Structure 1
Amino acid sequence: MSTYARAGSLQGPPAAGLFQGRRIVVVSDADAVPSAPLQAQLGPREAGQEDTLTVIALPLAFDGTPPVIGTIAASNSVTPPPSVLAVDGAGEYAYVVETLGPRGPDAHLLTELEAGSTIRAYDIGDAAKPQLLYAYPAGHMPQAVSLHPGGGLLALACGDVFAILGPDPYPSLRLVPIGPNGFGDGAVLVPHAEDGAPTVPSYVEWHPGGELLAVCYPWRDEVRLYAAHRTPELWIEPVGPPIRTGRFPFLGWFTPDGRHFLTVDVLWGRDAADGEPSEGRLSVLRIDPDTGAGEKIGEAGVGRNPGGLAVSPDGRHVVTSNLRMSHLAWGDPRLDRQGSLSLLTFDPASGRLTAVDEELFDGLRPEGVAFDADGKFVVVTVFDHLDLVHRRGQLRFFEVSGEGGAPRLRPTYYSIEVMRGPHTIVVV
């Protein structure tokens, strides 16, 4: 079991208020380095470094009071979007999908790992002592997991999005029941394009109403909706035509009222390996949950190479984490030691999305991002730092400040160190 997590403060005055909620839950891929998804290189082997699930009890004060933190080993991978973790609303259970298998003694590259095919359930009711409950087959290389708003049913998007392990992606969408005695038998759908070819999903999320799923297909620049049926048994039904987005919608997020779905369009293509990311964009899709119809109604620019996305609980603020050039190899002269957060305002009535701020900060590959329960603070993961002596991951905290007009992101000068490689975070 890993025990590597501690709170710390950066130079500056502490923020007023509390980071509200029940739990912060984060997963770290300690085998990888920030450039691993781009160059397939695994990181150095170091004693005490292992893939980890970290649980932090909330509320959290910024005055130096030590938070309650617990950790447990949890195999995971940074190669998918920051969507390999789901947590129930009460903060009692966490679910982690394994995209690539554990690192063997002779593995130095992502391509030398086995395909992952497992989802694991953890009891996090006691934040200081998370426990593994059970595991279940989850398809080939699961990329994302989403828990039904009412609990009891998990949706998974599976397949080798970037052909890491070979030309056959083995894509699937899955529904997996979960109860007090473990996982149950679920439903499987292999998604196909109009020409009949299999198409690989990168992300799945339940609609807040619990009847529909939104699924991102980045190589086709589209989102598709599916109905989840429970009678006479579990099954998945495509609903409505594909909804066009910007280029390469890697992940998305429903607004709280369910009327809109936002996608992170990272603008990658077949030449993404050149390491020259563009300014990212968000697409705004208007969704009719009754008919399953949808259309793109707007977009907005964000920082360079966006990695994560979150919408505030009231649906009026949106934040993206942006890798910029911090995901490149250490020897690359283009490597940037800073990432950024983009803050946008959102009008739930019109669907208008407006960029208002971008805050830069030190840290490599900032990817997972989340609001607190009140929408007043934001937390972002930092995968690693340019520090050969002290290799660690970090959670950085920012305040959403409305002083002086338009909202801005203000650093709190507070951080929590976690196992190297944090990339997916959930706040409940």
Structure 2
Amino acid sequence: MKKPSLIALATVITTGVFAQQEPIQFTAKGIVTLSDADMSASALADGNLYRSKTSRDVLTVIKFPLDRSGQNMATAPISNSSALYDKAAVVTPNGRFAFVLEGHGPLGDSVSTLKDGVKGLPAAARMFIVDLAPAKPTAKVVSVGNLPMAITINPQGNTLAVASGDAGKEMRLVEIDNTGTPKRVVTAPSPVPNARITDMVWSPNGNFIAYIMEDTQEVGLMKYSLDASKKPNLVPHGKPIKVGGLPATGRFSPDSKFFIVSDIKKGANAQGAGKGELFVVQFSTEDTPAEHKVVSQLAAGESGEAMTVSPDGSMVIVANAGQSYQPFGNAGAGKSSLSVYALDKEGKLTLANEYPFDGIMPQSIEFDKSGNAIAVAVSEYLDYGDRTGAIEFWKVTKGDKPSLEKMAGKISVPRGCHTVRVY
């Protein structure tokens, strides 16, 4: 039998006869993730941390195209808290800098249980400015007020808005220069006196910032502007409106027309949170604002705080943690799901498909730049020993009834992964 020559084999390989599609298809320059090593997800139910004394909070940078050797991944020891879900970080549009709220400080190595849930976590006031360009990311630290809860960045990538726990300074505008360094900080009080802001989202058109207040079950709007001296201002625009029992996360549609809010009803706990709801809010953005209004609401999954909107505005995808965070012996442990909704031009949501998957406490989800794939942050799995978290990927099929297909590959990251940012 005649043996094939090396030239013939090379020809077969280069012409693609043996070529196969990569297990992860994702259009992006990179992904930034945060992992909270202090917390096990089940601590929300039983207080047990199941910590490794050698593990530490970390930021992971993953650059595309992917490399099986891991040469395209780098980490930095950045303290962070999963109690903020995916509200803790933003990345500049050019992918140069990440800004990370610490949220809560690290626990001592001797601490093995939480006595009072997330309320027992140490207070913090720090923001890390992480330069993603070096092979090993570097960080600077600044203060942004006690117990910061959420951060958002304007479309131009030169101004941050931070929700602070400081009374009378609940909102901070932080202007940054091209090195990521703050050059001016302007504070503003909460639109509702003494009410804590728990989420903030800059509108895609850059003119407004939406806010959520869990304690008062309200969502509202602030108008952003620059005065004659180029000093930034935030002014309440219209009155906030009630939405649900525990509004948690909000996302604008790409045209800034709608603001979708996930109402989780209850925080994660030993009894479970029960089903949630989704609200679609249409803000009044006229110079003299009329009342904001809810144009659509729909029953949703359990503990569905993680949410994303497609780049074309046609769909909303929610990652439902369910009771995946329960102790391993619980029937719901390790079981999560994705819900896919169609969003029409009038703001009506329609459930298109649901997909169960194995993974604990998915807390963050984002589309790639093409809108043809999503990345989902998974805190950990029903694993013992040296546990890890991961970024899982799903292919998106658009249409009147959009659907998902799970990709074969995933990217393992340190356990406690709760944030994914695509740039």
In structure 1, the partner of 2:52 is: 45
Please say if residues 321 and 340 of structure 1, whose CA atoms lie closer than 8 Å, have aligned partners that are also in contact.
Answer: yes
- The equivalent position to 1:421 in structure 2, one of 389, 402, 416, is 416
Please say if residues 171 and 199 of structure 1, whose CA atoms lie closer than 8 Å, have aligned partners that are also in contact.
Answer: no
Distance 1:356 1:386, change over 3 A: same
Number of equivalenced pairs: 395
Please say if residues 168 and 190 of structure 2, whose CA atoms lie closer than 8 Å, have aligned partners that are also in contact.
Answer: no
CA offsets per residue over residues 103-141 of structure 1, 9 Å max, x none? 224434355543110111111134x43221x22111111
Please say if residues 265 and 282 of structure 1, whose CA atoms lie closer than 8 Å, have aligned partners that are also in contact.
Answer: yes
Are 1:408 and 2:392 an aligned pair? no
Secondary structure in 1 matching 2:390: strand
Are 1:338 and 2:335 an aligned pair? yes
- The equivalent position to 1:120 in structure 2, one of 120, 124, 128, is 128
Q: Any residues of structure 2 matched to 1:293-304 within 5 Å, and which?
A: 293=290, 294-304=292-302
Please say if residues 19 and 60 of structure 1, whose CA atoms lie closer than 8 Å, have aligned partners that are also in contact.
Answer: no
In structure 2, the partner of 1:278 is: 274
CA offsets per residue over residues 169-209 of structure 1, 9 Å max, x none? 8871111111135113312223263xx5x111110011112
Q: So what's the TM-score if we normalise by structure 2?
A: 0.86
Instruction: Please report how far the alpha carbon of residue 236 of structure 1 lies from its aligned counterpart in structure 2 after TM superposition.
Output: 2.4
Matched letter for residue 375 of structure 1: G
Are 1:35 and 2:46 an aligned pair? no
Structure 1 stretches of 4+ with a deviation exceeding 6 A read: none
In structure 2, the partner of 1:164 is: none
Distance 1:241 1:192, change over 3 A: closer
Q: So what's the TM-score if we normalise by structure 1?
A: 0.85
In structure 2, the partner of 1:95 is: 99
Are 1:146 and 2:145 an aligned pair? no
Whole-angstrom distance in 2 between the partners of 1:222 and 1:101: 28
Secondary structure in 1 matching 2:239: strand
- The structure that is strand-richer by fraction is 1
The structure that has the greater radius of gyration is: 2
Whole-angstrom distance in 2 between the partners of 1:74 and 1:176: 20
In structure 2, the partner of 1:82 is: 86
Instruction: Please report how far the alpha carbon of residue 82 of structure 1 lies from its aligned counterpart in structure 2 after TM superposition.
Output: 1.4
Instruction: Please report how far the alpha carbon of residue 396 of structure 1 lies from its aligned counterpart in structure 2 after TM superposition.
Output: 0.9
Matched letter for residue 124 of structure 2: G
CA offsets per residue over residues 318-358 of structure 1, 9 Å max, x none? 11111111122335x344221111111111x2111111111
Matched letter for residue 30 of structure 1: A
Secondary structure in 1 matching 2:294: strand
Please say if residues 56 and 67 of structure 1, whose CA atoms lie closer than 8 Å, have aligned partners that are also in contact.
Answer: no
Please say if residues 86 and 306 of structure 2, whose CA atoms lie closer than 8 Å, have aligned partners that are also in contact.
Answer: yes
In structure 2, the partner of 1:241 is: 239
For structure 2, which runs of at least 5 residues remain unmatched after alignment?
1-19
Please say if residues 23 and 409 of structure 2, whose CA atoms lie closer than 8 Å, have aligned partners that are also in contact.
Answer: no
For structure 1, which runs of at least 5 residues remain unmatched after alignment?
1-12, 161-168
Instruction: Please report how far the alpha carbon of residue 43 of structure 1 lies from its aligned counterpart in structure 2 after TM superposition.
Output: 3.5
Q: Any residues of structure 2 matched to 1:20-419 within 5 Å, and which?
A: 20-47=27-54, 49-60=55-66, 68-108=72-112, 109=114, 110-126=118-134, 128-132=135-139, 134-159=140-165, 172-181=170-179, 182-191=181-190, 193=192, 196=193, 198-231=194-227, 232=229, 233-268=231-266, 273-291=269-287, 292-293=289-290, 294-330=292-328, 333-347=330-344, 349-402=345-398, 406-419=401-414
Whole-angstrom distance in 1 between the partners of 2:182 and 2:44: 30
Distance 1:170 1:274, change over 3 A: farther
Instruction: Please report how far the alpha carbon of residue 303 of structure 1 lies from its aligned counterpart in structure 2 after TM superposition.
Output: 2.0
Whole-angstrom distance in 2 between the partners of 1:252 and 1:123: 27
Deviates more, 1:320-329 or 1:177-186: 177-186
Secondary structure in 2 matching 1:140: coil
CA offsets per residue over residues 64-113 of structure 1, 9 Å max, x none? 68671111111110112311010111111111001111222443435554
CA offsets per residue over residues 145-164 of structure 1, 9 Å max, x none? 1111111110011339xxxx
Matched letter for residue 125 of structure 2: S
Distance 1:23 1:217, change over 3 A: same
Please say if residues 316 and 345 of structure 1, whose CA atoms lie closer than 8 Å, have aligned partners that are also in contact.
Answer: yes
Whole-angstrom distance in 1 between the partners of 2:374 and 2:257: 23
Whole-angstrom distance in 2 between the partners of 1:283 and 1:417: 33
Matched letter for residue 83 of structure 2: T
Whole-angstrom distance in 1 between the partners of 2:203 and 2:237: 13
Whole-angstrom distance in 1 between the partners of 2:263 and 2:239: 19
CA offsets per residue over residues 4-63 of structure 1, 9 Å max, x none? xxxxxxxxx96678300111111010110013345554342332x1111111112459xx
Matched letter for residue 159 of structure 2: L
Please say if residues 309 and 317 of structure 2, whose CA atoms lie closer than 8 Å, have aligned partners that are also in contact.
Answer: yes
Distance 1:150 1:76, change over 3 A: same
Whole-angstrom distance in 2 between the partners of 1:419 and 1:277: 27
Matched letter for residue 424 of structure 1: T
Whole-angstrom distance in 2 between the partners of 1:330 and 1:362: 13
Please say if residues 326 and 337 of structure 1, whose CA atoms lie closer than 8 Å, have aligned partners that are also in contact.
Answer: yes
Please say if residues 304 and 321 of structure 2, whose CA atoms lie closer than 8 Å, have aligned partners that are also in contact.
Answer: yes
Whole-angstrom distance in 2 between the partners of 1:41 and 1:111: 14
Distance 1:314 1:177, change over 3 A: same
Matched letter for residue 413 of structure 2: V
Secondary structure in 2 matching 1:79: helix
Whole-angstrom distance in 1 between the partners of 2:296 and 2:417: 31
Distance 1:149 1:302, change over 3 A: same
Higher RCO (CA 8 Å, separation ≥ 6 residues) = 1
